[in-house]
Amino acid sequence: MHAPHFIGIGGAGMSGLAKILALRGAEVSGSDARESATTAALRAAGAEVAIGHAAGQVPETASCVVVSSAIREDNPELVAARERGLPVIHRADALAALMHGRRALAVAGTHGKTTTTSMLAVSLAALGLDPSYAIGGDLDEPGSNAHHGSGEIFVAEADESDRSFHKYAPEVAIVLNVELDHHANYASIEEIHESFETFVGRIEPGGTLVVSADHSGARELTSRVSDRPDLRIVTVGESADASLRILSVVPRGMSSEVTVEPAGTDGAPLTFTVSVPGRHYAHNAVSALAAGIALGVPAEELATALGSYRGVRRRLQLKGEAGGVQVIDSYAHHPTEIAADLEAIRQSAGGGRVLVVFQPHLFSRTQQLGTEMGQALALADAALVLDIYPAREDPIPGVTSEVIIDAARGHGLETVPVHTMAEVPEAVAALAKAGDLVLTMGAGDVTGLGPEILARLAGVEAGV
């Protein structure tokens, strides 16, 4: 891949691979639908980035074309590449090639992958190990989702949505949880279990699986792979039979104090700080701790280093405060994630209310889980619900945000439908009061509303 061309180079997964290849000296080019901070960061790393998709944008010097599952077969650049006989490489194959020769650590699960991968990247870097990493979200600024390190460890987020995580062969793998999602690609929970089984089967002989001891789907996975003789299984969680047991998670404002105890040892329990709120993030940190230990990193050193993690963009990221109202951005889009983030924020809200601006993501997900989304939103005090963000999908007749709104109202939540982004800042300003917390929530472009909401709140405060 000395001259790869990325179609959709600005995507969360694609941009990281493009950056690493550029830093390794490849002649990277690509295209994306729109300008963004990510495309600007890629240009700064040395990539040539075009906006829009056209056959002529595939350079004559391109050695291959890299695509994700989101790229349609009729994309003009993909059509041109096939006509020219260029190799077409899936994003997962490209990542697998980048990990080759490194000690690979892959993080999988229906929820929490980006956070856990980020925790490992930050803490291993803090210990001077300079890992390479590829994450599905930015740590602190656009383009910080990937790094070409000098160390032997490569930490990668492993995406189950399209089964592409079957491409990897890690030394250590984390499975945080197993739930039914990605309904366009999986017809049943049994298919999900089989897919995760295949992923675990790819772990190197003598390698380690770190898996939740608390999550029912993860426990089912453990039972299915426990007879493999060349696999070490480390379970983590609050269950009494966990290999690395969580004894307590104590909220400390926007952080938590976590105490763990390795099973079958006489050593003292280990206590460390997780600098993001919420029990689910504490569990992510303990999974990261277990995986690092499996790679030979001393437990106490890694636990201390985990405290240097300050969060990842879009994962309960504070966008600012105006008029006494804090605005926080959340990537949560599955009912489990929505509930977890709302419970975490509730612990930090004090006497203020929790208000949500929610943008459903995908018609297929809303069709299957819309009622559960509404139930999860009912953990807030009020919600504005936008129209569905389609991403790569075409509309499904009869599937709208109304299914979520009806379910939320059925659970007693004050819920207001909002059909355009432009309406949101004024609607929030009319609803929010000093002391409240506002969450912009969803996997689409709702994240861009934070600054606009803050500006309107500041205007209210100034009497404008």
Would the annotation count 109 as a binding residue?
A: yes
Inter-residue contact 13 to 167 (CB < 8 Å) = no
Would the annotation count 167 as a binding residue?
A: no
Burial class (CB in 10 A: 0-12, 13-18, 19+), 422: exposed
Inter-residue contact 208 to 232 (CB < 8 Å) = yes
Catalytic residue (choose from 27, 39, 77, 113): 113
Does 208 qualify as catalytic in the annotation? no
Catalytic residue (choose from 38, 39, 114, 117): 114
CB atoms inside a 10 Å sphere around CB 271: 13
Q: Where are the beta strands (DSSP E) in 164-296?
A: 172-175, 208-212, 232-237, 244-252, 255-262, 270-274
User: β-pairing, 64-67 with 88-90?
Assistant: parallel
- DSSP assignment of 5-38 equals EEETTTSHHHHHHHHHHHHTT---EEEESS--HH
Does 371 qualify as catalytic in the annotation? no
* Helix (H/G/I), strand (E/B), else coil: 197: helix
Does 319 qualify as catalytic in the annotation? no
Give the CA count within 13 Å in the CB-facing half-sphere of 173: 31
Give the rounded distance of the alpha carbon of 74 from its chain centre.
28
Catalytic residue (choose from 19, 38, 116, 157): 157
Would the annotation count 114 as a binding residue?
A: yes
Would the annotation count 198 as a binding residue?
A: no
Would the annotation count 115 as a binding residue?
A: yes
- DSSP assignment of 237-271 equals ESSTT-SEEEEEEEEETTEEEEEEEETT--SPPEE
Q: Using CA atoms of 97, 98, 102, 104 in order, give the dihedral in degrees to the nearest 10.
A: -80
Q: Which residue has the tokens 């432009």?
A: 422
Of 326, 291, 304, the C-alpha closest to 113 is 291
Give the CA count within 13 Å in the CB-facing half-sphere of 251: 14
Burial class (CB in 10 A: 0-12, 13-18, 19+), 13: buried
> Which distant-in-sequence residues (6+ apart) come within 8 Å of 391 by Cβ?
70, 361, 362, 443, 444
DSSP 381: S
Catalytic residues: 113-114, 157
What are the binding residues for ATP? 109-115
Known binding positions:
109-115
